[in-house]
């Protein structure tokens, strides 16, 4: 997955790595969190997903790697149907889809390096992981990934000794270990202060530009989406309210997405 995409035949406009078709999710309590959501993500795009809290952003992202089972609809990824994959197939799909989380979701008591190596589990024999064994290449790779997000010196610290921004960078390094083609980020900066937020977003931008990893990132702030994304998808009550470049969101659209009382808050 180097940055160069091969030239496409003229009859194909774009190659869609991810196609979401009529995705619907109804939780057991009857809440319809996603309602007939369809869109396509071409290779290498940075998509921001915005919307009020409760609008279905997390549900959408978790349906893509089936941390949540969709109720209806299909998700196609490089022409593989994720929704009908069995356990084993799902594992092989998941290991090429990285994910980072608002709460970082590191194992707090484990070392940073162990957390990063966990990203490699999909490629490791489970009997080897039983005795905590990773190959030497994996170790070197993990250190290289930590180097890349600028915290190689913290490799032997416990994860909970790190600051929030650092923890999120460990999360990114862990996802990178998967050698992902697609990165799902569920409000990755919502627990961070503005300055740290930008540094984390810059790393995501870097992955998108340098490694050509497609990114689906839910964000609270429109300003962040505007700065970093190629495209914004706005959800409202589980439906797509807007889909297009961030510049197209004017005052009227903004009020449609965030409600009449919403005031723009900028994050520098």
Binding site for ligand ADP (CB under 6 A): 27, 29, 31, 33, 51, 53-59
Nearest partner of 45 among 212, 246, 268, judged by Cα: 212
Work out how close the CB of 248 gets to ligand ADP at its nearest, in angstroms, rounded to a whole number. Answer: 21
Residues 6+ apart with CB under 8 A from 125: none
Decide which of another protein, Mg ion, ligand ADP, none touches 144; Cβ closer than 5 to 8 Å per partner kind.
Answer: none
Among 5, 135, 161, 210, which residue sits at the site for another protein (rule: CB under 8 A)?
A: 135
Distance set, CA 157 to CA 112, 122, 131, 150 (Å): 6, 24, 21, 14
| Cβ distance to ligand ADP smaller for residue 51 or 70 | 51
Among 108, 202, 255, 264, which residue sits at the site for another protein (rule: CB under 8 A)?
A: 108
| Cβ distance to Mg ion smaller for residue 33 or 162 | 33
Q: In whole angstroms, give the CA distance from residue 212 to residue 180.
A: 10
Distance set, CA 241 to CA 23, 33, 54, 224, 266 (Å): 15, 14, 14, 19, 21
Phi, psi of 65 (to 5 degrees): -100, 15
| Cβ distance to ligand ADP smaller for residue 36 or 211 | 36
Choose the binding region for another protein from 12-20, 45-53, 121-129, 187-195 (rule: CB under 8 A).
Answer: 121-129
Q: Is 156 in the site for another protein (CB under 8 A)?
A: no
Site for Mg ion in 48-107 (CB under 5 A): 58
| Cβ distance to ligand ADP smaller for residue 27 or 38 | 27
Number of residues engaging another protein in binding (CB under 8 A): 52
Choose the binding region for another protein from 34-42, 128-136, 197-205, 210-218 (rule: CB under 8 A).
Answer: 128-136
What residues does 185 pair with on adjacent strands? 100, 217
CA-CA-CA-CA torsion sign (192, 232, 66, 22): positive
Q: Is 171 in the site for another protein (CB under 8 A)?
A: yes
Work out how close the CB of 91 gets to another protein at its nearest, in angstroms, rounded to a whole number. Answer: 5
Residues 6+ apart with CB under 8 A from 1: 179, 181, 211, 212, 213
Other residues' Cβ atoms within 10 Å of the Cβ of residue 203: 19
| Cβ distance to Mg ion smaller for residue 85 or 190 | 190
Nearest partner of 118 among 109, 108, 127, 106, judged by Cα: 106
Work out how close the CB of 118 gets to another protein at its nearest, in angstroms, rounded to a whole number. Answer: 5
């Amino acid at each position: 997955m180097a940055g160069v995409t091969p030239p496409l035949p003229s009859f194909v406009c774009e190659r869609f790595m991810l196609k979401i078709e009529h995705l619907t999710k109804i939780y057991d309590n009857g809440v319809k969190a996603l309602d007939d959501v369809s869109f396509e993500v071409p290779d290498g795009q940075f998509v921001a997903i915005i919307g009020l809290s409760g609008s279905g952003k997390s549900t959408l992202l978790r349906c893509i790697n089936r941390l949540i089972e969709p109720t209806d609809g299909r998700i196609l990824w490089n022409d593989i149907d994720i929704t009908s994959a069995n356990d084993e197939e799902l594992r092989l799909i998941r290991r090429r889809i990285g994910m980072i989380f608002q709460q970082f979701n590191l194992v707090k008591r484990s070392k940073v390096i162990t957390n990063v190596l966990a990203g490699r589990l999909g490629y490791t024999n489970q009997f080897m992981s039983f005795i905590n064994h990773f190959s030497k290449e994996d170790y070197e790779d993990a250190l290289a990934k930590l180097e890349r997000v600028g915290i190689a010196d913290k490799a032997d610290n416990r994860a909970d000794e790190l600051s929030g921004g650092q923890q999120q960078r460990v999360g990114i390094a862990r996802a990178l270990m998967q050698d992902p083609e697609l990165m799902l980020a569920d409000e990755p900066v919502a627990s961070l202060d503005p300055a740290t937020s930008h540094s984390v977003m810059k790393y995501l931008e870097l992955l998108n530009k340098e490694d050509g990893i497609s990114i689906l990132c839910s964000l609270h702030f429109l300003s962040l989406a505007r700065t970093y994304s190629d495209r914004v998808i706005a959800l409202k009550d589980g439906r797509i309210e807007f889909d297009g470049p961030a510049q197209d969101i004017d005052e009227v659209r903004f009020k449609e997405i965030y409600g009449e009382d919403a005031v723009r808050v900028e994050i520098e």
